[in-house]
Amino acid sequence: MLTLIFVSFLFGARSALSSPYSSSPWDNYCNAPHVNASHYQLPEEGAELVHLTVMMRHHKRTPVALVPNERGINDGIPWDCSGVRQFAYDGGGARLSHSVFTPSDHPFAQQMWAGSCESGQLTTGGFQDSMVHGEDLWELYHDRLGFLRSVGPGEIGVRTTYVDRTKQVASGVLAGMDPSTAYRPWAVHAQPQLIDSLVPSYKCPRADSLVAAAQAAPFWQDTLKNNSALKERIDTVLGTTKSNAVWPNTFTFYQDVFTSRVCNDHPLPCNTTGDCVSEEDAAKIFELGNLEYDYLWHRAENAAEYNQLTFGVMFSELAGALEEPKHPLALYVAHDSSMVRMAAGLGIFPLRWPRLGSEFVIEVWRDQNWTQFVRVLYDGEVIGSLSWTPLDTFINLLRQQVPDHLFEKCASVSG
Ligand SMILES: *[C@@H]1O[C@H](CO)[C@@H](O)[C@H](O)[C@H]1NC(C)=O
Ligand SMILES: *[C@@H]1O[C@H](CO)[C@@H](O)[C@H](O)[C@H]1NC(C)=O
Ligand SMILES: *[C@@H]1O[C@H](CO)[C@@H](O)[C@H](O)[C@H]1NC(C)=O
Ligand SMILES: *[C@@H]1O[C@H](CO)[C@@H](O)[C@H](O)[C@H]1NC(C)=O
């Protein structure tokens, strides 16, 4: 109960801020709106839906950013992931699932919170949100539009990343579409971690150098300088003063530490002497995080090139998948790092930190003349500039985001 009040207080404090990065886009951060039957509008009289691509961010999870005394800042509250069994092996031997525990006398236990969660693991709440997400997709595209007929691997192709939580979300979405999918085997596709285009996680030294240059540019240095008191205040509570080497140029780790807690009804971090991160400081970090995303992927000098280098492989895959669809529904379960790049490539500005469960729906329609058009919805809303785009034009738009000689370009770091 206390945490509920706390959470609404935090979000209340947030809306009092006036920057364009802080206001309404933070609403529903913990569970973004998605397309749903009750608010859906058909595009054009007589048009027929022929293909559907959904690319979504996973739902709520535990933090990925840990502080040196992680156990200490959780005020004794364990993280509970008992509702989401992490599967590890189902290949003809015993069906193993992966259950996390930390003995309290483990000499390194202070580095990890108490409880049954790995860092970055989908939480029980995140799994439930995934199920609802699937139910709502099904209600719309099956019950109402009659487009999807059955839930099976022939009808729905699923692509995740190598990260477990994307598979856990896919599992929840499919079971939400059809409860009988629970316990049915289903192969989802993921590329090797070394070269995965969806995270994306392939190496691109040139892209790294562009980010480093953007972070060194006066605008970002001034932003860091102007917020150094905030950062110092938070660092003393988190005990991350010495983590400067790791968290110096970005607000995203702080953002992760705070939003993961807020979204899972945990209090903001407190240190062992009882000092806590304030709601105002957390709200300011949310705002700076939004600003950081818009800066790195949109406003920084080489942002467009950076985006194309790091997501060009995925844009190319999407273009190919739209030219020759393999399934009525292509479902991609991905990350904020994927969603922000997609938004940047499609020109949806200003950018925000993508919300949990955030979603792109790319509908391909055929009009009465058999011409194919694309309509894109982002977090349930039609994108004005992509409300009825000829399929060829849309595919070209994706292809324009694919640099020639991408592999060689990534390797060529020039000053
Ligand atoms: C349904 O769609 C509307 C319009 O986009 C949105 O405001 C609402 O939050 C959506 N509901 C859910 C459960 O996502
Ligand atoms: C930093 O603060 C100064 C003084 O308030 C202000 O003029 C400047 O615009 C700020 N810079 C950034 C990038 O926020
Ligand atoms: C807890 O945070 C307060 C306020 O930032 C700080 O003064 C204090 O030293 C911290 N205590 C510990 C044990 O880190
Ligand atoms: C179909 O094509 C005809 C002839 O080109 C045109 O007049 C009509 O407006 C088109 N209909 C639609 C629905 O686009």
User: CB under 6 Å to ligand 2: residues?
Assistant: 219, 222-223, 226
| CATH architecture, domain 28-63+122-204+303-411 | 3-Layer(aba) Sandwich (3.40)
**Closest by Cα among 400, 339, 321, 300 to 58:** 339
Q: How far apart are CA 126 and CA 264, in angstroms?
A: 9
Strand partners, 115: 79
Taking the CA of residue 225 as reference, the ligand 2 atom at the shortest distance is 1
Query: Amino acid identity, residue 124?
Result: T
Q: How far apart are CA 214 and CA 219, in angstroms?
A: 9
**Closest by Cα among 321, 313, 294 to 394:** 321
Q: How far apart are CA 362 and CA 14, in angstroms?
A: 32
From ligand 4's centre to the CA of 371, what distance in Å? 10
Q: How far apart are CA 379 and CA 210, in angstroms?
A: 29
Q: How far apart are CA 209 and CA 413, in angstroms?
A: 7
From ligand 2's centre to the CA of 13, what distance in Å? 23
C-alpha pair distances (Å), 82 with each of 98, 118, 197 = 10, 11, 31
Hey, whose CA ends up nearest to atom 4 of ligand 2? 226
Strand partners, 158: 331
Q: Locate the domains of the chain by residue range.
A: 28-63+122-204+303-411
Q: Is the dihedral of CA 394, 396, 397, 399 positive or negative?
A: positive
The residue length of the chain stands at: 415
Axis crossing angle, helix 336-345 with helix 303-323, rounded to the nearest 10: 90
Q: How far apart are CA 118 and CA 199, in angstroms?
A: 19
| Inter-residue contact 160 to 273 (CB < 8 Å) | no
Pocket probe mutation, ligand 4, options 45, 48, 369, max atoms within 8 Å of Cβ: 369
Residue 353, token pair as written in the block: 């930190």
Hey, whose CA ends up nearest to atom 8 of ligand 1? 33
Question: What pLDDT is recorded for position 248?
Answer: 81
Question: What pLDDT is recorded for position 373?
Answer: 98
From ligand 2's centre to the CA of 229, what distance in Å? 14
Closest ligand (CA of 236): 3
Q: Is the dihedral of CA 260, 263, 266, 269 positive or negative?
A: positive
Give the 3-state secondary structure of 358-401: CEEEEEEEECCCCCEEEEEEECCEECHHHCCEEHHHHHHHHHCC
350: preceding bond cis by omega (within 30 degrees): yes
Pocket probe mutation, ligand 1, options 28, 34, 135, 139, max atoms within 8 Å of Cβ: 34
Closest ligand (CA of 291): 2
Hey, whose CA ends up nearest to atom 9 of ligand 2? 222
Hey, whose CA ends up nearest to atom 13 of ligand 4? 368
Q: How far apart are CA 130 and CA 226, in angstroms?
A: 39
| Residue found by looking up tokens 């200003």 in the block | 350
Closest ligand (CA of 358): 1
From ligand 3's centre to the CA of 242, what distance in Å? 14
From ligand 3's centre to the CA of 237, what distance in Å? 5
Question: What pLDDT is recorded for position 185?
Answer: 84
Axis crossing angle, helix 303-323 with helix 205-216, rounded to the nearest 10: 140
From ligand 2's centre to the CA of 102, what distance in Å? 45
Pocket probe mutation, ligand 2, options 18, 220, 226, max atoms within 8 Å of Cβ: 226
From ligand 2's centre to the CA of 226, what distance in Å? 6
Hey, whose CA ends up nearest to atom 9 of ligand 4? 369
From ligand 2's centre to the CA of 292, what distance in Å? 15
- pLDDT (tens digit, 0 to 9) for every residue of the chain, 415 residues total? 233 333 333 333 333 333 444 434 357 899 999 999 999 999 988 999 999 999 999 999 999 999 999 999 998 899 999 888 877 777 788 888 889 999 989 999 999 999 999 999 999 999 999 999 999 999 999 999 999 999 999 999 999 999 999 999 999 999 999 999 887 889 999 999 999 999 999 999 999 999 999 999 999 999 999 999 999 999 999 998 876 556 788 999 999 999 999 999 999 999 988 899 999 999 999 999 999 999 999 999 999 999 999 999 999 999 999 999 999 999 999 999 999 999 999 999 999 999 999 999 999 999 999 999 999 999 999 999 999 999 999 999 999 999 999 999 999 886 5
Question: What pLDDT is recorded for position 87?
Answer: 78
Closest ligand (CA of 229): 3
Pocket probe mutation, ligand 3, options 235, 273, 277, max atoms within 8 Å of Cβ: 273
Phi/psi at 301 (nearest 5 deg)? -50, -45
| Residue found by looking up tokens 């008992």 in the block | 82
**Closest by Cα among 184, 183, 200 to 55:** 200
> Which value, to the nearest 10 degrees, does the dihedral of the CA atoms of residues 142, 348, 170, 151 take?
20
Taking the CA of residue 132 as reference, the ligand 1 atom at the shortest distance is 13
